[in-house]
């Protein structure tokens, strides 16, 4: 398929054409990557509801034409105000409509124990790393339209690098707070955790209910040999924010990835994570929590890629739907030829709390190897009537008993969230959504 | 006493489940300070009675009333009954993974006594005392409710809840079934801690064994959805020795008369 054969109306995501490309001068390394991505972007058709992946999440649900790309945020010298959780992290990056700042709470950046830099700056200081990892080997298989868009058009790019043997359990918090209606924000994250290092990255997305926004996020994360990477994202966008997120993760030999995605806000969210357990003894724990109420629509696709023998992945995604809420889960376990002794597990549990709400689940396997252990499943149901009666027999009013059971349902995933404040925040969100009358 | 409003009174109770009549006119009165035992063969309606008292939605009351301090509780939701001071110790307590015992007990106590009525520090202290009294490890507080508990642990957890919520009237639905002698002794010890002039108790059981530990003032025999015979504690030995057939025969004749 060549560019010439494609009608611009079919390939362009409204709002993302030639004129939306960043104008400012950037290091050649970055420019070259953007060029390659833009070319790919032009070669890929805009997804439609006829594509299997978008069949249940019609791209027409997202009013692309109403958004213009936001200006790139500028670096601020002075802090613009702290978030309530900032003190629990070693480094805090906060990004808003006009600026960003990087706060070095523990002096780790100054000492060189950790790198957290804008991508363009990193391309100058650490060209070899950027060369190797930006749009690098985690981007296996299937070129995807919105990843190419993110690579070509990103406006805020961040590079995080933990050197070999660095143990940074408190880690990095990235806060995105956007409020400018009619704008699209396109952040880009690249994180590399080197041999035997240990790092936690937490992300938080927030916008007010009255701002109409589009966020297109692209993340790429690498765990080197024996490294431990914990990545948790808490999505609490306001009621009129649309989010397309594509994440690429790769674990090398003996590495461990703990991935948690918490989707609570936004109007439409279409998320994808591809996790490649790439070398023997790599392990990935992928956890998801989502709760769609009112008219929210949440779609998540997961890929557990086992490209090497003796690799392990364990996925647990739990969701609830209420009112007119609609959730979609599509999962694939993919074991490459020769990937023997693979142990892969995939489970999606769904609570359907009210009539009119809908949850679709499509777990799947694509296996080209034998001598492996793969299992997957999905469950659907309302709350258990016997549990409900038990709680009510102890004096809990029905609404409170139901709320407690929804909390109980999610607790297994919440327990995998690496920070207590984030766990508490998710519990609060779930409580609020349970009590929220449509 | 006849001039006063009875403490707890079941009048001509009829109930069915899935359109099948189970209770066919049960009458039973419990005064404060009294312990009543209810025995009966399998399928006689014992568990149905306990579920109907607590308001299980799977059972439909087709006639009769249940009065607690003069109020017809059949009009109330299960949680309203609990907050009035009724308690059912379940025959098969459900497991609820994701809710710790501590969280559950605190939520239940807040519902019963009012939010903030019990200071968290006092609450924890009292929980520890109750756990020690029931010879249970404090680690139970951090475990998920009944999740992976043995049969005996589940029954002790029911009694722990009873001690926490201090009901005025408790129904124990075959709490003794499946318990070994040590667990039975501990469970009974817990229940006896509540027995007193303000407390009414209905012990539903298959076996007289538990009645050696929790002494009933009255025994009722439920057969085919009705109380076929009532008597004092001496009736326990008779049921143990002769089973239910002689009662069934006599009851049958009485009904025929």
ipTM: 0.95
- pLDDT tens per residue, range A391-423: 999 999 999 999 999 999 999 999 999 999 999
Distance CA A427, CA A421 (A): 10
Residue of chain A whose alpha carbon sits nearest to that of B114: A395
- Tell me if residue A196 falls in helix, strand or coil: coil
Question: For B176-198, what is each residue's pLDDT tens digit?
Answer: 988 999 999 999 999 999 999 99
pLDDT computed for residue A145 by the predictor: 96
| Beta-ladder partners of A251 | A223, A277
The stretch A137-159 carries a mean pLDDT of: 93
Residue A6 pLDDT more than 70?
no
Does A140 score more than 50 pLDDT?
Answer: yes
Any idea which residue has 């969230």 for tokens?
A417
Q: Is the pLDDT of residue B257 over 60?
A: no
Q: Tell me how many degrees the CA angle B152-B154-B156 measures, rounded to the nearest 5.
A: 70
Task: Kindly indicate the confidence band of residue A436, based on its pLDDT and cuts at 50, 70 and 90.
Answer: confident
pLDDT value, residue A44: 94
Beta bridge partners of A286: A259, A315
Alpha-carbon distance of B202 to B177, in angstroms, equals 15
Angle, CA of A351, A355 and A360, to the nearest 5°: 50
pLDDT tens-digit profile of A39-68?
A: 999 999 999 999 999 999 999 999 999 999
Map out the domains of chain B with their CATH numbers. 8-256 (3.40.50.300)
**Interface contact flag, B96 A389, Cβ < 8 Å:** no
Q: What is the dihedral of CA A94, A294, A320, A258, to 10 degrees?
A: -10
Distances (CA, A) of A76 to A87, A178, A203: 19, 16, 20
pLDDT value, residue A282: 98
Q: Mean pLDDT over residues B158-170, rounded?
A: 97
- Partner B contacted by A401 (CB < 8 A): yes
Cβ neighbours of B99 in A, within 8 Å? 404-405, 407-408, 411
**Interface with A, mutate which of B76, B93, B102, B107 (most A CBs under 10 A):** B107
| Least confident piece of the model among A209-213, A311-315, B3-7 | B3-7
pLDDT reported for residue B207:
86
Q: Is the pTM of this model over 0.90?
A: yes
Backbone φ and ψ of B58, nearest 5°: -80, -10
Pair of tokens at residue A13: 């995501």
pLDDT at position B251, please?
76
Per the prediction, chain A carries an average pLDDT of 94
Pick from A385, A396, A409: which is nearest to B79 by CB? Answer: A396
* Domain total in chain A: 1
Domain ranges, residue A28: 3-435
The fraction of chain A above a pLDDT of 90, given in percent, is 89
Flag whether pLDDT at A199 surpasses 70: yes
Whether the predicted pLDDT of A3 surpasses 50: no
Alpha carbon A187 to chain centroid, angstroms: 12
pLDDT score, position B3:
54
Banded pLDDT at A438 (limits 50, 70, 90): low
Average predicted confidence (pLDDT) for chain B: 93
The average pLDDT across B65-78 equals: 96
pLDDT over 70, % of chain A: 98
Mean pLDDT of B80-88: 98
pLDDT tens profile B212-241 = 999 999 999 999 999 999 999 999 888 888
User: What is the model's pLDDT at position B36?
Assistant: 98
Q: How far is B245 from chain A (nearest CA, A)?
A: 34
Nearest residue to A338 via CA among A292, A372, A294: A372
The answer, yes or no, to whether residue B27 has pLDDT greater than 50, is yes
Asked if residue A1 has pLDDT above 50, the reply is no
| For residues B108-119, average pLDDT | 91
pLDDT (tens digit per residue) in B33-69: 999 999 999 899 999 999 999 999 999 999 999 999 9
Task: Measure in Å the smallest separation between the Cα of A7 and chain B Cα atoms.
Answer: 53
Closest of A343, A349, A307, A308 to residue A331, by C-alpha:
A349
Interface test with B, best of A382, A387, A393, A426 (most B CBs within 10 A): A393
Q: What is the largest CA-CA distance in chain A?
A: 69
On the question of pLDDT at A433 being above 60, the answer is yes
Q: Is the dihedral of CA A235, A238, A239, A242 positive or negative?
A: negative
Looking at the DSSP bridge assignments, the partners of residue B203 are: B37, B172
């Amino acid at each position: 398929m060549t560019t010439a054969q494609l009608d611009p109306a079919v390939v362009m995501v409204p709002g993302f054409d030639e004129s939306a490309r960043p104008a400012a001068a950037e290091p050649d390394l970055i420019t070259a990557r953007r060029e390659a991505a833009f070319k790919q972007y032009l070669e890929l058709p805009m997804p439609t509801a006829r594509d299997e992946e978008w069949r249940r999440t019609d791209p027409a649900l997202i009013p692309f034409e109403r958004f213009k790309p936001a200006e790139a945020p500028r670096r601020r010298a002075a802090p613009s105000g702290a978030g309530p959780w900032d003190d629990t992290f070693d480094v805090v990056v906060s990004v808003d409509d006009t600026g960003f700042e990087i706060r070095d709470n523990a002096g780790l950046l100054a000492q060189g124990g950790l790198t957290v830099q804008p991508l363009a700056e990193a391309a100058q200081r650490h060209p070899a790393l950027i060369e190797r990892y930006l749009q690098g080997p985690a981007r296996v298989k299937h070129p995807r339209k919105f990843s190419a868009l993110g690579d070509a058009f990103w406006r805020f790019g961040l590079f995080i690098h933990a050197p070999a043997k660095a143990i940074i359990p408190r880690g990095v918090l990235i806060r995105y707070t956007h409020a400018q209606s009619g704008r699209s924000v396109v952040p880009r994250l690249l994180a590399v955790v080197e041999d035997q290092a240990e790092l936690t990255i937490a992300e938080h997305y927030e916008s007010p209910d009255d701002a109409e926004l589009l966020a297109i996020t692209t993340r790429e994360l690498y765990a080197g040999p024996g490294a431990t990477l914990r990545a948790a994202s808490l999505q609490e966008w306001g009621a009129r924010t649309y989010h397309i997120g594509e994440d690429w993760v790769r674990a090398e030999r003996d590495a461990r990835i703990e991935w948690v995605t918490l989707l609570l806000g936004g109007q439409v969210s279409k998320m994808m994570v591809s996790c490649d357990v790439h070398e023997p003894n790599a392990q990935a724990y992928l956890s998801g929590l989502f709760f769609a109420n009112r008219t929210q629509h949440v779609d998540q696709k997961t890929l557990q890629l086992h490209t090497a023998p003796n690799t392990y992945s364990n996925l647990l995604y739990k969701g609830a739907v209420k009112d007119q809420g609609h959730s979609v889960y599509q999962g694939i376990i993919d074991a490459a030829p020769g990937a023997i002794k693979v142990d892969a597990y995939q489970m999606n549990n769904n609570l359907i709390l009210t009539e009119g709400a809908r949850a679709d689940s499509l777990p799947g396997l694509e296996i080209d190897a034998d001598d492996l252990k793969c299992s997957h499943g999905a469950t659907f149901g309302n709350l258990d009537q016997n549990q409900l009666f038990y709680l009510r027999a102890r004096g809990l009013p029905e609404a409170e008993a139901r709320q407690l059971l929804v909390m109980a349902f999610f607790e297994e995933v919440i327990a995998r969230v690496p920070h207590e404040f984030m766990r508490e925040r998710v519990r609060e969100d779930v409580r609020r959504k349970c009590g929220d009358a449509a | 006493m006849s001039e006063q409003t009875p403490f707890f009174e079941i009048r001509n109770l009829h109930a069915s489940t899935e359109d099948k009549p189970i209770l066919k006119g049960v009458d039973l009165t419990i005064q404060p300070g009294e312990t009543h035992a209810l025995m009966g063969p399998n399928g006689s309606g014992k568990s149905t009675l306990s579920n109907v008292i607590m308001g299980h939605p799977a059972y439909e009351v087709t006639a009769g009333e249940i009065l607690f301090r003069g109020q017809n509780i059949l009009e109330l939701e299960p949680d309203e009954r609990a907050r009035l001071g009724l308690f059912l110790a379940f025959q098969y307590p459900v497991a609820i993974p994701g809710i710790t015992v501590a969280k559950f007990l605190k939520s239940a106590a807040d519902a019963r006594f009012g939010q903030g009525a019990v200071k968290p520090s006092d609450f924890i202290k009292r929980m520890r005392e109750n756990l020690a009294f029931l010879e249970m490890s404090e680690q139970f507080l951090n475990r998920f409710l009944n999740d992976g508990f043995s049969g005996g642990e589940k029954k002790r957890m029911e009694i722990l809840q009873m001690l926490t919520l201090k009901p005025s009237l408790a129904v124990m639905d075959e709490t003794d079934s499946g318990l070994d002698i040590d667990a039975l002794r501990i469970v009974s010890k817990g229940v006896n801690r509540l027995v007193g002039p303000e407390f009414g108790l209905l012990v539903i059981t298959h076996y007289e064994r538990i009645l050696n530990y929790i002494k009933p003032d009255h025994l009722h025999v439920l057969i085919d959805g009705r109380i076929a015979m009532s008597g004092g504690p001496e009736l326990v030995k008779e049921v143990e020795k002769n089973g239910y057939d002689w009662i069934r025969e006599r009851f049958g004749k009485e009904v025929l008369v």
